[in-house]
Amino acid sequence: MADGPEKPAAAPAESGQSTWGGRFAEPTDAFVARLNASVGFDRRLYREDIAGSKAHAAMLAKQGIIPPDDAAAIRDGLDAVQAEIEAGQFTWSADLEDVHMNVEHRLTARIGPAGGRLHTARSRNDQVATDLRLWVLRRIDDDLVPRIDRLQRALLDVAEAHRDTVLPGYTHLQRAQPVLLAHHLLAYVEMLERDRGRLLDARKRAAESPLGCAALAGTPFPLDRGLTARALGFTRPMANSLDAVGDRDFAVELCAAAALIMTHLSRFAEELVIWSSQEFGFIELGDAFATGSSIMPQKKNPDIPELVRGKTGRVFGDLVALLTVLKGLPLAYNKDLQEDKEALFDAVDTVADCLEATARLLPSTTWRADRMRAACDAGFVTATDVADYLAAKGVPFREAHHVVGRLVGWCIAEQRALPSLSLDEFRRFSDAFDDDIRRAVTVEASVAARTSEGGTAPARVAEALAAARARMADRG
């Protein structure tokens, strides 16, 4: 998803020179200039870049470093530049390398020499670190956390509509014990809650300001870094100038959190793919969230869950790419750090889209309670209940486990189900069985018996649903 309108990079700087060209006797090789330029992807930081520049200019004026009139002209000029960008009227130049120089060049063209004072006591090193942190904060606050909340609400809606729906719980993809569908979906609500917490935790460390650290060593100008930090919504200035310009831990943390979100989405997507198969038939995806085949007319393909599952790999790759960029960098800033943005942008964009797609898909899905219940009845999902029954009668559990194993083996050979057995048939395997065994082996009894905290018993699931809804209500 784009952060704002873009136009192809085109016209070079009017001067025909780079903003740093005074030291150089020869122009930059054209291929090198293209390789060096980042404006093709970092232009999406324009909001953050302009916000940081306005805060910096206001602070410079307050500290008596630049005239107030120049600060006012810079502020108004930056507002006009932002309006041009958002109207699609701004021409981005690869010759100006990056978003920072493009914005500053256009500002100076609009307001004259005052624009040249904006870069006082600032380097692109602390500028880009500030921009990127502001972008991370905005995307966490405006995109990722709200989309997690939306998906949690969608899961809760389905769970509440299916409080009584029973399906097999699985281990090793083998039918294990019956659980409520609501309980199963609440597991993903809990995963997403941890994901949400990780984002907010990562946000705390991202909310520190590098602005004013300049290239690496600080600046001799009498800056008020606390003023710009507060103006931009940071909690405090970063404590060490070398760390401030060279650090990208905050980007790694966000990519790591995104990778875990995608892991959880991929697990759910895998289940949706399996459940929508004819072999399971537990769900049917809405027509708007499936596709057909170009050759097989009968097909209804779960493309959206498959894409979510597939896109997980690219987010993992983004995390590894960013870690690899950082692993060998000496302090402080190195050009390698230009490679941080595309991985970070892609990870955030991808996870935001996948959260959105999954939340939209759920309300259109048909949940086949009859097929889920039939799958419970066709297996031996209450076998553990029979072992627990014997243990409650005083039979050591390991012996009870062995007894029930032989009982299940006999049922398989005879093509029988546990609820169909008579008391005499149960007693062929243990004298501890009594009249109440027939009630203990029903799916409903199995689910109702799981009353331990966090279990699938209806009362426990009702508590969990209420707690989750209360959390959501507190968020507004």
* Active centre residues (catalytic): 172, 293
| H or E stretch at 179 | strand 174-180
Tokens found for residue 411: 């049922």
Tokens found for residue 396: 């050591």
d(CA 151, CA 73): 45
DSSP string, 184-249: HHHHHHHHHHHHHHHHHHHHHHH-EE-TT-TTTT--SS---HHHHHHHTT-SEE-S-HHHHHH--H
Tokens found for residue 290: 């499936």
d(CA 46, CA 104): 11
Q: What is the dihedral of CA 360, 364, 369, 374, to 10 degrees?
A: -90
| H or E stretch at 171 | strand 166-171
DSSP string, 118-153: TTTT--HHHHHHHHHHHHHHHHIIIIIHHHHHHHHH
Tokens found for residue 434: 């009594």
Tokens 């690496």 label which residue? 216
* Phi and psi torsions of 384, nearest 5°: -65, -35
Contact by Cβ (8 Å): 97, 41:
no
Q: Which amino acid is at 268?
A: F
